[in-house]
Structure formats: structure tokens, C-alpha cells
Amino acid sequence: MNATLGRIELALFAVGFAMSGLVLLALLWSGDGAYVDIARANGITSATFIDHATGATVDMGLGPLVQEHHVWSAYVTGGTVDPPAPGRFYTGDEISHMTDVRRVFDGAKLLIPGGFFVMAIRLQRARARSVEALLRLVRDGAIAAGIAVAAVGIVAGLAFEQAFLLFHEAFFPQGNFLFDPATSNLVRLYPDWYWQAITFRIGLSFIALAVAAMVAASAGLRRARSTRLASA
């Protein structure tokens, strides 16, 4: 296989690895435990919500905040059919935005089987050449995917607000993601500290996954080479 085809195979495997890995990790970190851990790490024990029906303020401890997160997380990831009812805590615009978030997640979940399919085809083609070719593809593809995600993470870390806004402008061009922090309970439930921490955890987890795949493939490659040399 020439160098150009090899680079294409590597790029496709890395893309498939990133597609499936990042979406799976995003689903994993969307749970209640992650929300609690992130809140505690930021010293958050409560938040003040606005009761839009009466105009009164409601003190929400960490337990109720987690319950609100659970309802939204289940809806966005497809675990429940209906979002919270508008009126008391959430406005129609907030619910409309989260409905759009659910649609994005529905599309993103298709990347999981899509990514696995791309990787499977690449691995099958590499295996047809040799076990060593397969292991090299896994090793180099994991390294490439890890470097790409790390690079994006560094850029996002240096300019998180700009990157966060760019992401929303790209995926929600209708512009229904801009809420007033002074009145939005959705912003109070998911402030900047949550998005920064969850993004960091997804990225770091993916890099750890890529390193694990690279180490395992490298070890397998060494064994395969030793076996081949011993039998030569």
C-alpha cells in the first residue's frame, strides 16, 4: 500500500475513533454523578431560581439541582419523551432550545455506529495485509485522534467563551441559545463552570482512551514482531 493510501486509511480510522469515542463519552458524562462532582468541585451547594409564575425566588439546594439536571439530561439524551412543562421554572424559549439540543444529540448518536463502521472497515482492510498492519493502524490512529482532540482542547481552553459561542452558532443557527443570566434558570442550572468542566472531562477521558488504545496496540505489535522473528 502506498503512502497516500496509508495516510487516508489512518485519517479515516482516526475520524471514526473520534466520532464514536467523543459521543459515547459525552453521554457517559451527562449523568447525575458528574453534575454533583462538578458542582462540589466548584464549591456549589445551591442556586437561586426564579419562579416565573409568581416572580418569587426559590432556593435550590444541590439535591433539587441534580433532580432538575436529571430531567433535562434524560430528555436531551432520549431517555424521556417530553421536556419539563413551561411556566414555573423554564420559559418557552428555553424549552425550544433544549428541544433543538435533543435533535443535535439524536444526530450525534448516529456517529457512534458510524464511527465503529468506519473503524471496522479500516481494520478489516489492514488485517487482510497482516496482524502487524492492523496493530499499527490502531496505534497510529489512536495517536492521531488523541493529538487532534488535545489540540482542539487547548484552543478551547485558551478561548473557551469564543469556542462555546462558535459551537452554538454552528449547531443552533436559529440563535435561540442566548438567555439573560439575570432571569434564566437554565443558565443558573448550567453556568459556565459546568460547561468548562464537562468539556474538559470529555476531552481528557478521550485522550486517556486514545493512550490506552495506543499502549495496547504497541504491546501487541511488539509481541507480533517477536513471534515473527522467532519463527523466521
Strand partners of residue 50: 57
> How do residues 44-75 score in pLDDT, each as one tens digit?
999 999 999 898 999 999 999 999 999 999 99
176's grid cell = 435561540
Q: What does the domain layout of the chain look like in residue ranges?
A: 3-40+93-231
CA distance 182 to 50: 9
Share of the chain above pLDDT 90, in %: 72
* Confidence (pTM): 0.90
Position 72 scores a pLDDT of 95
| DSSP for residue 110 | T
Mean predicted confidence (pLDDT) in 105-109:
93
Q: How many CA atoms lie within 13 A of 192 on its CB side?
A: 9
